Amino acid sequence: MDRMLVVVFDNETKAYEGKRALLQLDGEGTISVYDYAVLAKHADGSTTVRQGDDAGLIGTVVGTSLGALIGLLGGPVGAAVGATAGLVVGGAADIDKARVGEDFIEDVRKVLAPTRVAVIAEVEEDWTTPVDIRMEELGGTVFRRALTAVRKTVDDEEIAAMKADLAQLKAEHAKARADRQAKIQNKMSQLDSKIQARLQRAKEKREASEREAETKVQMLKARAAAAAARANATTI
């Protein structure tokens, strides 16, 4: 199951130990780590995002569910995230792209106090015990949430509701007096514009999700090919 994982530590040293533990579990085949970042919250409330020397497996968090969550926790993620230099961030991000509930974000915010550091990762795990044991041994507080497409359902419902309103307006327009038809027509035009904008936004989100899914597939194929090559090399 694809999940968003956030582990909060008391300091940066422990956070990087936690990051290495996650990557070790990935190397063992216990979980798959698609991408990750380390988010440090400073005493003044500002935050810094790093991916470390070994940049995330997808290579950038920008435009991904992970990037959106980082934005919600600490600010928007710019293209400069990665390598060894940190990026100071601030602001807000689109909760739709994060694919987790607001309650999850609030739970993390309550624990991610100033001077604490979080490892944030998008992972696939069949069971939670391996990660929980490793993180608890390092003193980390674990939050996880299955990534969801619930926003698609909400978008569909909202679009359907607006279309129902538009149908009602059309029915009223047909029966209205001439002096009212112009006003109703204006409302119809405004509502239709909103529907088209919502449909376009839903299309863009769907395409972005498809691109992200394809990136994950290619990453897993590359990992399998590398593992096969290593196995062949050891038998020669």
Contacts by 226-233, CB closer than 8 A, 24 or more apart? none
Residue range(s) defining the domain that contains residue 91: 2-146
**Residue 218: CB atoms within 10 Å:** 11
Mean residue pLDDT across the chain = 80
24 and 136 assigned to the same domain: yes
Query: Where among 146, 173, 201 does a domain terminate?
Result: 146
Q: Which of these ranges, 74-78, 103-107, 132-136, 223-227, has the smallest mean pLDDT?
A: 74-78
More confident residue, 56 or 174: 174
107 and 171 assigned to the same domain: no
Confidence of residue 83 (pLDDT cuts 50, 70, 90): very low
* Distance between first and last Cα of the chain: 36
Q: Can you give the pTM of this predicted structure?
A: 0.65
204 and 228 assigned to the same domain: yes
23 and 67 assigned to the same domain: yes
| Domains held by the chain: number | 2
| Kind of pairing between the strands at 117-125 and 47-50 | unpaired
11 and 87 assigned to the same domain: yes
Taking 60 as the threshold, does the pLDDT of residue 211 lie above it?
yes
CA distance 48 to 132: 25
Q: Tell me the pLDDT tens digit for each residue of 119-144.
A: 999 898 888 899 999 999 999 999 99
Of all helices (H) and strands (E), which one includes residue 38? strand 31-41
